[in-house]
Amino acid sequence: MSRKLLETDGPDWVKKGIISPEQHRQLLELYPEDARAIGLLPLLGSLLVGLSALSLVAANWQGLPEWLRIGLLLGPFWALTPAVSFFCAAAIARWELAWLAWA
């Protein structure tokens, strides 16, 4: 069992009479709050990996063929455009409706 589960489902258990408010408090005391700094480690690691890849490309930029340089510059835009369109389709539809209502 985790503290997050106790925090989200615990009040429902108290309402349903499964546990008492005192038991809920005691259960919460058994599971201390997690440190939030753990989520910072993967972020820092991915940042360092990205910077190392960027440094590798920058150090060898003059030696790369022109078609590869253009691909490295335009590739992320070509790759991310469909992804942004897919994930933001609902937000775009809401904005279109808002503009139609406002016009």
Q: Which parts of the chain fold into alpha helices (H)?
A: 3-16, 21-30, 40-59, 66-87, 89-102
Q: Are 69 and 38 in contact (CB under 8 A)?
A: no
Q: Say if pTM beats, i.e. exceeds, 0.85.
A: no
Each residue's pLDDT tens digit, 4-62? 888 999 999 999 999 999 999 999 888 888 766 577 888 899 999 999 999 999 999 99
